[in-house]
Amino acid sequence: MSRPSVATALAVVLVAGVVALAYAGPADYVMPVDKHTSAKGRALAVKYQPQLLQFSEYVYHCLPYVEIRNGLGFKKVPKEPGDDRYVAVWIRAEQAPDAAFAALPLDRQASAMFSRYAIPMLKRLAAVPGFASDPDVHGFSVAVEWIKPGSDPNRPTMEILAMFADQASTRAFLGQTLPAGQYVEKMKKLTFFDGEKEVGRLPIEVWEDNFMATYKVPGYEMEKGKVCS
Amino acid sequence: MRSKIVTAAALIVVAFLAGACATSEQWAEWRGHTTHFASGDHGSFSLANNLDGKNPKVTRLDIENSRTQNWWGKNISVEPGQVIQN
């Protein structure tokens, strides 16, 4: 092979490598098996890798205004003794500034984000085949983060609401045999972070919100061959 | 060599003319972010959408680029380990 050909081939390989590193795909949003800090977590991550990838693909292609953060996987309540594993998704909801939202008290803002984003994520997680009958999947965790209204647009503050709930109560709530208020009370943890510290539990209310089921990003062109259901 | 010099000169002229046509609002935006486009992809996306947002075409790759390349700024947030443990 001539010297220019070798140089061209190397350049192509280099560019391909850079492109591969730059563009995250659905698989990149699933937490690697070895990042789970216990054997139980790693075993669950291996067992449900296809399901997690499918979930990530759904979010990636069908909910482009949502981004999975810190890896989809089997996680636990911080500083909690034992090793109860929750199938966990942490999402960033990307939304434009909204005066009506900004005018709400903090607990109403958190309730709105919970109702809009966390409930549909819980429904989707609970529908994943296999979790319901797996005793190692203790429950579900959803964290939703959003830009604090009024924060510096060049260095926005991220507010986060995180919840952990066991499978039984979550399925009872989703099956409408457990009222929302009782479900919220029974959660193992429901806590709010203001960007700098953990604030604690807020009085969260849950209401119907079909935003995620109906909203379409204007002009969004889904990748060919992908279907959302 | 001569053709390279001509090409470079043409590019400089085009860049100057393009800059001269910017509106005051676009200049304010530029000053606010030091670079008008944070990346080539951001530039391509904005140009493809005619800068005015009419009839936008947004692909998943556009969205991914905007996140990966962090078009504007960083954010203030707690450590992930405070929220959830791996």
Tens digit of each residue's pLDDT (9 = 90 or more) over A114-163: 999 999 999 999 999 999 999 999 999 999 999 999 988 788 899 999 99
Which of the four pLDDT bands, split at 50, 70 and 90, describes residue A70?
very high
Whole-angstrom CA distances from B47 to A82, A217, B13 are: 54, 19, 19
Using alpha carbons only, give the angle A114, A115, A118 rounded to the nearest 5 degrees: 50
Q: Does the pLDDT at position A109 exceed 70? A: yes
- Cβ–Cβ gap A219/B56 under 8 Å: yes
Nearest chain B residue (CA) to A19:
B65
Higher per-residue confidence, A33 vs A101: A33
CB pairs under 8 A between A and B: 101
Please give the Cα distance from A199 to A165 (Å, whole number).
19
Q: Do A23 and B56 touch (CB under 8 A)?
A: no
> Does residue B80 sit at the A interface (CB-CB below 8 Å)?
yes
Which of the residues in chain B have pLDDT under 70? 1-56, 66-73
| Cβ–Cβ below 8 Å for B76 and A195 | yes
pLDDT in tens, B38-59: 444 444 444 444 445 556 677 8
Question: How far apart, in whole angstroms, are the C-alpha atoms of residue A92 and residue A69?
Answer: 7
Identify which of A110, A115, A112 has the alpha carbon closest to the alpha carbon of residue A173: A115
Best to test chain A binding among B57, B75, B79, B82 (most A CBs inside 10 Å)? B75
Say whether A129 sits in a helix, a strand or coil.
coil
Q: What residue of B is the nearest CA neighbor of A45? A: B86
Chain A closest-CA separation from residue B63 CA (Å): 7
In the structure encoding, which two tokens stand for residue B1, read together? 């060599």
Asked whether B74 and A33 are in contact (CB, 8 A), the reply is: no
Contacts of B74 in chain A (CB under 8 A): 155
Least confident of A26-40, A175-189, B5-19: B5-19
Residue B5 CA from chain centroid, whole number = 27
Rounded to two decimals, the ipTM of the complex is 0.81
- The domain ranges of chain B are 23-71
**Contact across the interface for B84 and A158, Cβ inside 8 Å:** no
pLDDT at A54 over 70: yes
| Best A85, A89, A220 residue to mutate vs chain B (most B CBs within 10 Å) | A220
Largest separation between any pair of C-alpha atoms in chain B = 62
Contacts of B69 in chain A (CB under 8 A): 22
Is pTM beyond 0.90 here?
Answer: no
CA distance B64 to chain A (A): 7
> Is B83 in Cβ contact with A143 (below 8 Å)?
yes
